[in-house]
DNA sequence: TTGTAGGCGTTATCAA
DNA sequence: TTGATAACGCCTACAA
């Protein structure tokens, strides 16, 4: 596979290589005639320009980087990664940008800041909210390097981000349960350190307060086992709640188990509604009422925000919040909708 | 952010830029003294070499491409993508290779073959078995372009690939059920056109035959609903099987539902064992016996095979098969292991 | 409308 | 041990 370069084309077409270059970029200062001729030769010789040489000449990598922490296995990203990447590629591709995945290893001088940012391997960066340190975000801002966070970074101002509107989302779940006649609501969450727990539980409390009600919030590991344990505790101590909002499908699954073991009827005795809509959620017994999060759109928005910043169209800080969708199923439907 | 180049360093250090280059590559023909001096200046001026310029000079992109079809939503990759990428990055990263994800859109002259392969944007390619056309694989072979397939391509010879040993895997599941005393076994699969169905059902049949037994094989869409439907059909027509091997967690989930609705006891009346080990599998009722597939290792093997071919260490065609792991849970354990 | 020449930031090959 | 100098393959004034 010997590579044919712009020079070969120039020779074969009997023109200067600058003319060939102009043809490739469809410059208006080239006669239609030579354009045709050069193009024919390019096709005939099976020529494709070297993207690397173009990048060097243009001083742009035409690549956006997606930074992940591959050492974290049970990540939010784990389940949504493919879809998010799909969304990103969906806007980057048509703009002739490549998407590269980079593991963020802080080890040595080979870290992403040097490799990708200073080494100009990428023109911009997208990452999950919690993988950058404070210093790293500051450095990126200082370098005026374009980047967009997926998920809002709590406490960090001046960073553009896209996120699901978690607070609104738990409001939707909560109000749905209230509409179904629930009055003693409980929110079962995950890791308290995770900012998602904060925003979701906040929406829960706020919705209740708007109706003059109150509800308790619990947190744990966010696993099936933990959801089950938390629910069992609730059943033993104090009055049994009649509506449960959970932070994830895992916790919801544990809750369903605990309730069934206790012989409670769902949704007659207790309604359950949860964040996330995993593929199996329609098939639990009973099927789970879920809040669907459009992660493909999350990727699209993140990438389009980034592209705006890369080409300089937009400079300011911006946060876009996406609306979740409530999907009602049996676990919360007391009077089946018609 | 004004960029400091090799020239700036050369000037500041009072040496030729070729010397600076040598220092960067730790050439033995540079005195330790100047090395120290140049390095100090590089650090002081916060210099990082331009990877693009390096790539052009070295005629290598130091990038491997992962080709996916992002238009296919419910893909095998959907669930394992993150882990596979993790494995790939795990070998590419330390070798200073970047990993870029590319959507395979055949549209126009902007297809991957031109953009990535001919445009030399990547040094090699990894893709899922079924996204390349026959012509494309032939063209890659013709160009002697390094690529590795995840999953064996049925009928296509001369392509290096990594795969789970599916035939062996269904053998493991089948024999496990036989050991538990099952005698009337059935295999419930997915799309018959998918080569995975072929290899997995083959292993099922082969295992039974080795013991002088036979079992029926059914196929469908591979969804929960379809699994449920297939199982119900089985319960109505003919003798009820006492052991079910399913091609995926989805089908298994449907099977569990059907069996429970029919009032059959698991595993007393019917045992269930399935391919794949999704996060919720330990929490179904009863917990599912699964065949765990090490997708991280899949990524590792694919990437290391590719790297061998990129640097020319290995040239021949090779297929690596990975051993799955049987994880026994209640759905198939008649006499609880001690 | 086309061609010439220099630049993008490295690496590599020789001389010095 | 170092330093010119020419690649690498493309883009972009500017000149013809």
The mean pLDDT of chain B is 91
**Lowest-confidence pick of A62-71, A152-161, A240-249:** A152-161
**Domain assignment present for B105:** yes
Q: How far is the CA of A21 from the C1' of D10 (A)?
A: 8
**Domain assignment present for A239:** yes
- Asked whether residue A338 carries a pLDDT value surpassing 50, the answer given is no
**Domain assignment present for A107:** yes
Helix, strand, or coil (residue A71) = coil
**Domain assignment present for A118:** yes
Q: CA A149 to CA A89: how far, in whole Å? A: 16
- Looking at the structure, do residues A70 and A154 belong to the same domain, yes or no? yes
- CB burial of residue B189 (10 Å; 0-12, 13-18, 19+): buried
Q: CA A68 to CA A74: how far, in whole Å? A: 13
Sign for the CA dihedral angle at A41, A45, A48, A54 comes to: negative
Residue A241: which CATH number?
Answer: 3.40.50.2300
Looking at per-residue confidence, does A31 or B186 come out higher? B186
* pLDDT one-digit tens code per residue, B234-251: 999 888 999 999 999 999
Selected residue of B80, B141, B228, B279 to mutate for chain A interface (largest A Cβ count, 10 A): B279
Residue A9: which CATH number?
Answer: 1.10.260.40
Element (H, E) at B67: strand B63-68
Confidence of residue B118 (pLDDT cuts 50, 70, 90): confident
- CB burial of residue B67 (10 Å; 0-12, 13-18, 19+): buried
The token pair that represents A51 in the structure block: 């993207």
**Does A39 touch chain B if contact means CB atoms closer than 8 Å?**
no
Cβ contact, residue pair A145, B1, below 8 Å: yes
- Looking at the structure, do residues B140 and B91 belong to the same domain, yes or no? yes
The token pair that represents A198 in the structure block: 């904060």
Selecting from A99, A224, A249 the residue whose C-beta is nearest the C-beta of B101 gives A99
Angle between the N-to-C axes of helices A32-44 and A17-24, in degrees from 0 to 180, rounded to the nearest 10: 90
User: Which chain D positions have some atom within 7 A of a protein CB?
Assistant: 1-5, 7-13
Element (H, E) at A299: helix A295-310
- CB burial of residue B313 (10 Å; 0-12, 13-18, 19+): exposed
- Looking at the structure, do residues A177 and A282 belong to the same domain, yes or no? yes
- Looking at the structure, do residues B240 and B281 belong to the same domain, yes or no? yes
DSSP H helices in B59-165: 76-92, 112, 134-142
**Mean pLDDT, range B154-178, rounded to an integer:** 94
- Any strand C atom closer than 7 Å to A25 CB: no
**Lowest-confidence pick of B74-88, B89-103, B281-295:** B74-88
**Mean pLDDT, range A116-129, rounded to an integer:** 92
* pLDDT one-digit tens code per residue, B249-268: 999 999 999 999 999 999 99
Selecting from A98, A143, A282 the residue whose C-beta is nearest the C-beta of B1 gives A143
Helix, strand, or coil (residue A35) = helix
**Domain assignment present for A336:** no
- Asked whether residue A111 carries a pLDDT value surpassing 60, the answer given is yes
**Domain assignment present for B271:** yes
* A214: Cβ contacts below 8 Å, ≥ 6 apart: A205, A208
How many A-B residue pairs are in contact by the CB < 8 A criterion?
137
How much is the pLDDT for B77?
66
Element (H, E) at A223: none
How much is the pLDDT for A106?
66
Pick from A190, A112, A326: which is nearest to B99 by CA?
A: A112
Which residue's alpha carbon is at the shortest distance from the C1' of D12?
A: A18
- Looking at the structure, do residues A144 and A186 belong to the same domain, yes or no? no
**Does B257 touch chain A if contact means CB atoms closer than 8 Å?**
yes
* A10: Cβ contacts below 8 Å, ≥ 6 apart: A16, A17, A19, A20
How much is the pLDDT for B277?
93
The mean pLDDT of chain A is 91
**Mean pLDDT, range B16-38, rounded to an integer:** 91
Q: How far is the CA of A89 from the C1' of C7 (A)?
A: 32
Which nucleotide lies at the shortest CA–C1' distance from B29?
D1
Looking at per-residue confidence, does B197 or A111 come out higher? B197
- Asked whether residue B307 carries a pLDDT value surpassing 50, the answer given is yes
Beta strands A325-327; A289-292: pairing state: antiparallel
Which nucleotide lies at the shortest CA–C1' distance from A29?
C1
* B155: Cβ contacts below 8 Å, ≥ 6 apart: none
How much is the pLDDT for B107?
66
Q: CA A254 to CA B283: how far, in whole Å? A: 8
**Mean pLDDT, range B296-308, rounded to an integer:** 97
The answer to whether B243 and B186 have CB atoms below 8 angstroms apart is yes
Count of the separate structural domains present in chain A:
3
- Looking at the structure, do residues B301 and B157 belong to the same domain, yes or no? yes
For B46, half-sphere exposure in the C-beta direction (CA atoms, 13 angstrom radius) is 9
Confidence of residue A312 (pLDDT cuts 50, 70, 90): confident
Q: Which residues of B touch A253 (CB under 8 A)?
A: 280, 283
- Asked whether residue A64 carries a pLDDT value surpassing 50, the answer given is yes
**Mean pLDDT, range B172-201, rounded to an integer:** 94
What's the pTM value of the predicted model, to 2 decimals? 0.93
Could you tell me the residue range of the domain that residue B196 belongs to?
166-294
Beta strands B98-103; A98-103: pairing state: antiparallel
How much is the pLDDT for A70?
84
How much is the pLDDT for A107?
65
- 3-class DSSP string for B170-204: HHHHHHHHHHCCCCCEEEECCCCCCHHHHHHHHHH
- Asked whether residue B197 carries a pLDDT value surpassing 50, the answer given is yes
**Domain assignment present for A327:** no
* pLDDT one-digit tens code per residue, A197-209: 999 999 999 999 9
- Any strand D atom closer than 7 Å to A50 CB: yes
* A215: Cβ contacts below 8 Å, ≥ 6 apart: A174, A184, A185, A186, A187, A204, A205, A208
**Mean pLDDT, range A133-162, rounded to an integer:** 91
Q: Residue B82 CB: number of other CB atoms within 10 A?
A: 25
Which residue's alpha carbon is at the shortest distance from the C1' of C2?
A: A19
- Asked whether residue A302 carries a pLDDT value surpassing 50, the answer given is yes
- Looking at the structure, do residues B186 and B280 belong to the same domain, yes or no? yes
- Looking at the structure, do residues B125 and B89 belong to the same domain, yes or no? yes
- Asked whether residue B112 carries a pLDDT value surpassing 90, the answer given is no
- Asked whether residue A332 carries a pLDDT value surpassing 60, the answer given is yes
- Looking at the structure, do residues A151 and A229 belong to the same domain, yes or no? no
Tell me the DSSP string of A115-154: IIIITT--SEEEEETTSS-HHHHHHHHHTT--EEEES--T
- Looking at the structure, do residues B36 and B78 belong to the same domain, yes or no? no
- Asked whether residue A265 carries a pLDDT value surpassing 90, the answer given is yes
The answer to whether A52 and A121 have CB atoms below 8 angstroms apart is no
- Any strand D atom closer than 7 Å to A54 CB: yes
- Looking at the structure, do residues A149 and A231 belong to the same domain, yes or no? no
Sign for the CA dihedral angle at A142, A143, A144, A147 comes to: negative
**Domain assignment present for B137:** yes
Sign for the CA dihedral angle at A299, A305, A310, A311 comes to: positive
Which nucleotide lies at the shortest CA–C1' distance from B38?
D2
Which nucleotide lies at the shortest CA–C1' distance from A7?
D9
**Mean pLDDT, range A216-244, rounded to an integer:** 93
- Looking at the structure, do residues A94 and A185 belong to the same domain, yes or no? no
* pLDDT one-digit tens code per residue, A21-63: 999 998 889 889 999 999 999 999 989 999 999 999 999 999 9
Pick from B103, B92, B32: which is nearest to B66 by CA?
A: B103
How much is the pLDDT for B336?
58
How much is the pLDDT for B186?
97
């Amino acid at each position: 596979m010997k590579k044919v370069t712009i020079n070969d084309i120039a020779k074969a077409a009997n023109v200067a290589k600058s003319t060939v270059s102009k043809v490739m970029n469809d410059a208006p200062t080239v006669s239609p005639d030579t354009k045709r001729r050069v193009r024919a030769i390019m096709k005939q010789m099976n020529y494709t320009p070297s993207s690397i040489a173009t990048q060097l000449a243009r001083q742009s990598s035409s690549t956006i980087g997606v930074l992940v922490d591959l050492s974290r296995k049970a990540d939010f990203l784990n389940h949504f990664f493919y879809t998010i990447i799909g969304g990103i590629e969906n806007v980057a591709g048509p703009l002739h940008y490549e998407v590269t995945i980079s593991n963020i290893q802080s080890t040595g001088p080979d870290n992403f800041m040097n490799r990708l940012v200073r080494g100009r391997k990428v023109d911009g960066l997208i990452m999950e909210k919690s993988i950058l340190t404070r210093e790293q975000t500051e450095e990126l801002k200082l370098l005026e390097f374009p980047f967009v966070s997926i998920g809002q970074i709590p406490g960090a101002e001046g960073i553009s981000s896209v996120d699901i509107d978690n607070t609104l989302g738990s409001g939707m779940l909560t109000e749905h349960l209230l509409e179904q006649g629930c009055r003693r609501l409980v929110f079962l969450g995950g890791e308290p350190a995770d900012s998602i727990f904060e925003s979701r539980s906040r929406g829960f409390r706020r919705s209740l307060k708007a109706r003059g009600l109150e509800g308790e919030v619990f947190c744990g590991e966010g696993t099936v086992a933990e959801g089950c344990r938390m629910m069992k505790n609730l059943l033993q101590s104090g009055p049994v709640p009649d509506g449960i909002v959970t932070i994830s499908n895992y916790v919801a699954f544990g809750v369903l188990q605990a309730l069934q073991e206790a012989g409670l009827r769902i949704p007659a005795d207790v309604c359950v509604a949860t964040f996330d809509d995993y593929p199996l959620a329609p098939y639990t017994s009973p099927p789970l009422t879920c809040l669907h999060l459009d992660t493909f759109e999350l990727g699209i928005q993140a990438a389009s925000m980034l592209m705006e910043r890369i080409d300089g169209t937009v400079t300011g800080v911006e946060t876009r919040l996406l609306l979740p969708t409530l999907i009602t199923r049996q676990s919360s439907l007391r009077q089946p909708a018609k």
